Amino acid sequence: MHPDADVEAYFAAAERLGISAGVHAIGDRAIEQCLRAWETVLCGCPSPANRHFIEHFEIASARPDRPLRPARHLPLDAASI
CA gap 58, 55 in Å, rounded: 9
Q: Which residues, in sequence order, are CB contacts of 71 under 8 Å at separation 6+?
A: 35, 78
The CA-CA-CA angle for residues 17, 53, 18, to 5°, reads 10
Q: Is the separation of the CB atoms in 42 and 74 below 8 Å? A: yes
Q: What is the pLDDT of residue 7?
A: 93
Alpha carbon 81 to chain centroid distance?
Answer: 13
Q: What is the mean pLDDT of residues 73-81?
A: 66
In the predicted model, is pLDDT for residue 81 greater than 60? no
Give pLDDT tens digits for 2-61.
Answer: 899 999 999 999 999 999 888 888 888 888 898 889 889 988 777 788 888 888 777 666
